[in-house]
Amino acid sequence: MSMPVVMTTQQLAAIDNENTRVLLSILASSIILVLTDGCRWVGDINNGTAIAILMAVLSFNALFIARFREGRHAILHRMPPAPPGTKVQPALSLVQGFLVAASVLREKVAGASVLMLLILGFASLFGMFSTGSTLIQLNEGVAFYFGKRNSFPMGPALPVGAFLVSVLLAKWTASALVARVGRKRD
């Protein structure tokens, strides 16, 4: 574990800005990959071009994140060490961060009213059925487009992601409803 350092609010804000740039880069890359999947699905581009775009996006993100990490390590290396005896919590790993976010979301869902849980349940069921029918239609050869005038075609990547989110939301909602009913019986 590296030594703790003393940071000013401006330095923390600079690191926060860099984190925002990394997240925006990943969001823009996701949009590019979804559009590439759609174009590949309707035949506007071939598989080789789609793979080249995928590799370019992954390489760009890898280099961007590496540059960001290198800059952060250089900044942290130049900062003065924290006073002796300073207690620092260890940083969360990526998996631990997702688990903490999932537990916080589960607590928020469990604390919602019964009406809100029912609305979330119906929304997740509607999402599963609509994305399932979209995937079936995509498999049958029906093309879906974002916007008007057949601008950007949609492939199966976006409906599959939406289906998985709907299933996860349905699972959390059902477990929250069961926990709520169990608490009221006690």
- Backbone phi and psi for residue 149, each to the nearest 5 degrees, phi listed first: 60, 35
What is the helix (H) or strand (E) element at residue 150, kind and residue range?
none
Question: Phi and psi of 118, rounded to 5°?
Answer: -65, -40
- DSSP letter at 152 equals E
Residue 1: pLDDT band with limits 50, 70, 90: very low
Whether 146 contacts 152, CB under 8 Å: yes
Question: By the 8 A CB rule, do 75 and 93 touch?
Answer: no
Helix (H, G, I), strand (E, B) or coil at 145: strand
Q: Tell me: the pLDDT tens digits for 109-167?
A: 767 777 888 888 888 889 889 888 888 888 887 777 766 666 777 788 888 888 998 89
Report CA torsion sign: 27, 31, 32, 36: positive
**pLDDT for res 178:** 78
* Secondary-structure breakdown of the chain: helix, strand, coil percentages, each rounded to the nearest 5: 75, 5, 20
Tokens of 95: 């998996």
Span 54-110, pLDDT tens digits: 899 999 989 988 888 887 777 777 777 777 777 776 666 777 777 787 777 777 776
* Radius of gyration of the chain from its Cα atoms, rounded to whole angstroms: 23
Residue corresponding to tokens 């030594």? 3
